[in-house]
Chains A and B, each alone.
Chain A
């Protein structure tokens, strides 16, 4: 896949996640749009995984701690061949496994997440196991900045550094907004870089919508031997749709028919310019 094709894929994934949110009349729109570029890069350039043999013990792990942005994950996994995209027609329907958070009933999903502050501790366990077994696979998690106040994260930040888990990559989808408002106003987690460095992590910051930069960072770890890796991906909530970008109501807003058409049109136009 060329870099251009990868960029077009981000457009396609955005169009698709909006399509299924619109159809299901439910979803976490803003957060899915902020993290979908990270997912695109992870699944198409970084993770060593095989949709045909997902449970290979030597696979790279990806556990989405911000489980509510599941629509971005669902469309990425479908595109990567973990299941037919038509499965997503059942999103949020009675007896569907495609619900508002990830579950292991779906091929490609490592853990049932959704309650916040759970992804990182599980990843710490996975990363310790890999070290004990002298395996070289990597363990990735995607966290939201809104979930940073969860105490379990800070317990896990300590443990990851204590066990020198340089095979662990925590990516912060730093869109700086959460359901109530601006993250620094709801609960100030500013100076996150300094906080994580003080906890013994090696930290890099990246434009979370720059695919080349994301790939460069995610594929060039560990940043420092013996330190867990923290990636602050600066993102924009609702990225890619002009009237959604940075607008609070799109945290889990569902577009009207007119808004949906407008969003798809904008994304098509963005695709033409790539």
Chain B
């Protein structure tokens, strides 16, 4: 299996989105003493060690106790704190699910739940540390916004908006360095997909760290086949940007969705559900992790194994385009 380790030269490389999260938290905390990070022995992986050193009164450590992490965060938010509960996505969205459902969403306490090292970021640590269920589970909870920023720009915007929004929100972040995916599109609005590459022939709708391989595939499609594929960073998975989906589906061109999540209940199924009920009959394919014992390997190896790569997305595009 050949791994695509070549970084795109025409995209400026950034940092891991998790690092941008913590840097933005520091900037926010500098002028707002109500910004609080709650951690479950997770400040290291959340890149929040400098934050904790700079603002010791704005970090609450609960130890390895994720249920309490979310319950305490709900109480802090209820008392007016702009609260970010930070924990690996695998634990946060499973171990603390009842607290998310009841104490955050149902009680409408405006916690930002930050799932770090999400998807298969932890690679060879295995399934215990993967979160391939979180979109599905979080989507099934009323009163919860779901955001998976693709690059550093989107991450900073998402963190700033979350702090100001005063609503329950789940933010999913990865640990791999990400390039800036668009030098021209600097618009970021929750609930609105961000077009990072224009194209008329088909659409690739991706989210989080899979937007980059989608972008690479679109570039190869153009170079090798003269196909112009639009690439969308669908950073907000709920509420879904259905206006944009309508536009992308208008001409009946192929649509591919890409996500670092199990195929069940994620971005692809959300898009398919909407489009099918609207009567769209575009060639459509969901690129995601299948419902099986996940192959072992690094994030890149797992991605490549399941076709979440330049090559995999390219091949699926050609198939749908009938080239």
Contacts and interface: CB of A to CB of B under 8 A. Distances in A.
B107 A111 contact: yes
A128 B76 contact: yes
Interface of B: 36, 57, 60, 62-63, 65, 67-68, 70-81, 83, 98-99, 102-103, 106-109
Contact of B68 (A112, A114, A127, A155): A155
Contact of A151 (B67, B70, B78): B67
Interface of A: 57, 104, 110-115, 117-118, 120-130, 132-133, 151-152, 155-156, 158-159, 162-163
Q: Count chain A CB atoms within 10 A of each CB in B74, B75, B76, B99 and give the residue with the most.
A: B75
B103 A122 contact: yes
B72 A125 contact: yes
Contact of B79 (A130, A158, A162): A130
B71 A122 contact: yes
Contact of A122 (B65, B75, B108): B75
Contacts of B36: 132
Given A115-B98, A121-B99, A130-B79, A155 B106 contact: no
Given A112-B102, A115-B98, A125 B107 contact: no
B102 A110 contact: no
Nearest to B73: A125
Given A121-B71, A125-B73, A126-B76, 7 more contacts: A111-B103, A125-B74, A125-B77, A128-B72, A128-B76, A133-B79, A152-B67
A36 B106 CA distance: 26
Contacts of B102: 112-115, 118
A49 to B, nearest CB: 15
14 contacts: A104-B107, A111-B103, A114-B102, A118-B71, A121-B71, A124-B68, A124-B72, A125-B79, A128-B75, A132-B81, A152-B67, A155-B68, A159-B72, A163-B60
Contacts of A112: 102, 106-107
Nearest to B96: A152
A156 B38 CA distance: 14
A159 B63 contact: yes
Given A125-B78, A125-B79, A118 B68 contact: no
A202 to B, nearest CB: 20
A115 B98 CA distance: 8
B32 to A, nearest CB: 13
Contacts of A114: 102
B80 to A, nearest CB: 7
Q: Count chain B CB atoms within 10 A of each CB in A112, A127, A151, A163 and give the residue with the most.
A: A112
A159 B68 contact: yes
A118 B78 CA distance: 14
Contacts of A130: 79
Contacts of B106: 112
Nearest to A126: B75
Contacts of B98: 115, 118
Contacts of B65: 155, 158-159
Q: Count chain B CB atoms within 10 A of each CB in A121, A127, A132 and give the residue with the most.
A: A121
B70 to A, nearest CB: 8
Contacts of B74: 111, 121-122, 125
Contacts of A121: 67-68, 70-72, 74-75, 99, 103
A132 B57 contact: yes
B2 to A, nearest CB: 46
A152 B63 contact: no
Contacts of B75: 121-129
B79 A129 contact: yes
A110 B74 CA distance: 12
Q: Count chain B CB atoms within 10 A of each CB in A104, A120, A126, A162 and give the residue with the most.
A: A126
Contacts of A113: 102
Given A112-B102, A112-B107, A159-B62, A125 B71 contact: yes
Contacts of A128: 60, 72, 75-76
A130 B60 CA distance: 13
Q: Which 3 A-B pairs have the closest CB atoms?
A: A125-B75, A121-B71, A129-B79
Nearest to A132: B57
Q: Count chain A CB atoms within 10 A of each CB in B63, B65, B70 and give the residue with the most.
A: B65
A157 B298 CA distance: 38
Nearest to A117: B67
Q: Count chain B CB atoms within 10 A of each CB in A115, A117, A122, A125 and give the residue with the most.
A: A125
Nearest to B58: A132
A120 B70 CA distance: 12
A129 B78 CA distance: 9
Contacts of B60: 128, 163
Contact of B99 (A118, A123, A133): A118
A57 B98 CA distance: 27
